[in-house]
Amino acid sequence: MARRMLRSLILALGLLAPLAADDVVMVVANGSELQEISAREISALFTGMTRTVGLRIARPAVLRQGGAHQSFLDRYIGKSPAQYYNWWKRLVFTGKADFPKAFDSEEQMAAFLAENPSYIGYLSPGHVTGDLKVLTVRE
């Protein structure tokens, strides 16, 4: 009985604890006027709940998989990759939005962002190239 209660307690604490997240940075092209973004704006933009950051129209770019993608979802979205995909389906299947631009690798994402200043993406710090700048994230 005590063991079962302990197991339940550990499970409950595990659910409430902040999820572990590796480093991931928000990036845009050097040509973008954007310098900073809030965590709430990131969440809203990448879940299709807003189309602007500040007063500018912005578009999200996402990775399909990998550590940076998982860290990004853990830190800013609070959904698993499958939950995140299903979230977007509800927007797409009601005509409210298109799926975000998606990439298989961080290299592809970095190359795309460098040439498209209206997009915001995320990368692990090691993949930030000279064409990109890291946004300051306000919590």
Partner 1 sequence: MHHQGPSVFHPWTRPGWKTLVRGLLAVFTALSAAGGLGAVEPSLEIHGSLAQSYLSSTHNDILFPGTEHGSFEFSEAYLNASRSIGEKLRVGAQILSRDYGPEGNHDVQLDWGYGDYFFNEKLGMRVGKIRLPLGFYNEYRDVDSARTELLLPQEVYREGLRSFILAYTGVGIYGKLGKGLRAGDVDYHLYVGTLNIPDDVQFVQPLRRSHNAPAMGLETDRVYGGSLFWNTGLKGLRLGFSAARFRGHYDIDSPALFYSPLHAPFLSERGLLQEAEPKVVGVEYQRGRWTLASEYQIFQRKAEYSADFKRAYAQPIIAAAERSARAGGADAATAATAGQAAGDKALAGLNVGSFAFDSQGWYASLSCQFDDRWSAFLRYGEYLAERSQRSTPSLRRDDYAMGLRRDFGVHWRAKAELHLFDGSAGALAVRGNPIADSWSLLALRVSFDF
Q: 138: which 2 tokens?
A: 């306000």
Q: 42: which 2 tokens?
A: 């990131």
Q: 17: which 2 tokens?
A: 């604890």
Q: Out of 80, 115, 125, 136, point to the residue binding partner 1 (CB under 8 A).
A: 80
| Residue matched to tokens 């460098």 | 114
- Between CA 43 and CA 10 the distance in angstroms is 29
Q: Out of 57, 125, 134, 136, point to the residue binding partner 1 (CB under 8 A).
A: 57
Restricting to residues 5-24, which ones interact with partner 1 according to CB under 8 A?
Answer: 15, 19-20, 22
9 versus 92: smaller Cβ distance to partner 1? 92
CB of 86 to partner 1, least distance (A): 5
In this structure, are residues 27 and 113 in contact, taking their beta carbons and an 8 Å threshold? Answer: yes
CB of 116 to partner 1, least distance (A): 8
The answer to whether residue 89 forms part of the interface with partner 1 (CB under 8 A) is yes
Q: What x-and-dash track marks residues 21-40 binding partner 1 by CB under 8 A?
A: -x---------------x-x
Q: Are strands 25-29 and 119-123 parallel, antiparallel or unpaired?
A: antiparallel
